[in-house]
Amino acid sequence: MEAPITKPLRLVAMTLAGGRVGELSVLTLRRPKSALPFAGYYRVIDFPLSNLMRAGIHNVGILSQYRPASLIDHVGVGESWDFVGLGRGAKILPPFRGAEASDWYRGNADAVFQNLNYVRDHQADLLLILSGDHIYSMDYRKLVEFHLERGADMTIAVKRMDPHERFGWAVLDADGRVTDYEEKPVVPKSDLASLTVYLVNVAPLTQILRELNGRQLIEFGRDVLPAMIARHRVYGWVFDGYWAYTRTVESYYQAHQDLLSGRIDIDEWGVRTNLHDTMIAGHPPAHIGRGATIENSFISSGTFIEGRVENSVLSPAVVVERGATVRSSIILHRCVIRAGARVERAIMDKSCEIGPDARVGLENSGEITLLGKECQIGRGGEVSPGTTLQPEEQVLGSN
């Protein structure tokens, strides 16, 4: 008697990449948070896309709605992450107007619901749903193995953290099954925070999403997870590696400090980015002048440094003139710090210019100074610690 033929499971991924959060202030006025530059060359979405590539998951739909142009340009067709070829693909999935769909996503679960046709087109049995604004290295194959071994209908990745109201928290039994879940409670019942990494069987998810469709807002943590837990087998897979949530200016800044300290290892993690991106392509090697001093910093191509750079991350084409100092800061593409200027504990978005002898921030203040795109600080001008300047804002100099 011949053994029955079983169809191999088909798995596709969706990345939630379209949102903007007010906590990131001017950094996300003109881009979604997933497109925020990180570590000089990279963008935050590079981390989940690289995780998918290493796990051999070759089809991903990228759910985008807020100012998606930079994200579309960066991802392209997914070539940088080996998503090009027969049976492979990265596809941007923006909101659309249709006979039975709204023209704007009503929450992250509604974004998935509106694009279930993408899942059906791939005849997928399993759907891996990822947030596009987290920095981490995760082997999704281990998550899949755990899911199949437990016979789960849904598995969520969780991590032990200090209680914080911005997360969802899961309670697990001895076998790892989720017995309770709360979204952003004041006092969590558990120390296991959801990482917004969900592996779910397509059939029960589709049923739940259809039932929830009439609501004004449909979110995974608030709506989908409780419904799945009540009726299906939901498990929690505990992740113990590094994980950062770039939701706030402070967490974005801290992730860069973790990069400088070695807690984030771009090379070891095998993170890829789009090297054809116009913001990083075509630059010559970094120029380090004879009088320059660089300590514990990331320096990108196209930079021109004749001053002092300490504990900082510089994106391509940044200029630090002779006598200028950049300390404990994140400087994005094409910014210029003129001679004698001092920039400390600051984040500067693209194409800002700091005039000669100007002062921006203060290292020991404990506050982060934030400059939006294309800000200009005149000669001898001062920007106090903790100040936020809007894009294109100007601060006049002292003379």
Q: Does residue 62 form part of some domain? A: yes
Q: Does residue 276 form part of some domain? A: no
Q: What is the pLDDT of residue 293?
A: 97
Same domain as 170, residue 34: yes
Is the predicted pLDDT of residue 18 greater than 90, yes or no?
no
Q: Does residue 280 form part of some domain? A: no
In this prediction, residue 19 has a pLDDT band, given cuts at 50, 70 and 90, of low
d(CA 60, CA 81): 11
Q: Of 361, 353, 318, 356, which is closest to residue 339 (Cα–Cα)?
A: 356
| Residues spanned by the domain of 387 | 287-395
Same domain as 343, residue 248: no
Q: What is the pLDDT of residue 95?
A: 66
Which residue, of 269, 304, 331, is where some domain finishes?
Answer: 269
Q: What is the pLDDT of residue 297?
A: 98
- For the segment 7-25, the average pLDDT, to the nearest whole number, is 81
Summary mean pLDDT of the chain: 91
CATH number for the domain including 103? 3.90.550.10
- What residues form DSSP beta bridges with 89? 59
Q: What is the pLDDT of residue 1?
A: 38
Same domain as 325, residue 239: no
How many structural domains are present in the chain? 2
Q: Which residue has the higher pLDDT, 188 or 68?
A: 188
Among 100-114, 214-228, 366-380, which is the least confidently predicted range? 100-114
Q: Does residue 1 form part of some domain? A: no
Among 96-105, 238-247, 326-335, which is the least confidently predicted range? 96-105
Same domain as 188, residue 54: yes
Q: Which residue has the higher pLDDT, 385 or 133?
A: 385
Same domain as 240, residue 299: no
Q: Does residue 108 form part of some domain? A: yes
Which residue, of 201, 234, 269, is where some domain finishes?
Answer: 269
CATH number for the domain including 388? 2.160.10.10
pTM (global) more than 0.85? yes
Q: What is the pLDDT of residue 66?
A: 65
Q: What is the pLDDT of residue 172?
A: 98
Which residue, of 269, 295, 319, is where some domain finishes?
Answer: 269
Same domain as 248, residue 312: no
pLDDT tens digits, 222-232: 999 999 999 99
Q: Does residue 220 form part of some domain? A: yes
Among 63-72, 285-294, 304-313, which is the least confidently predicted range? 63-72
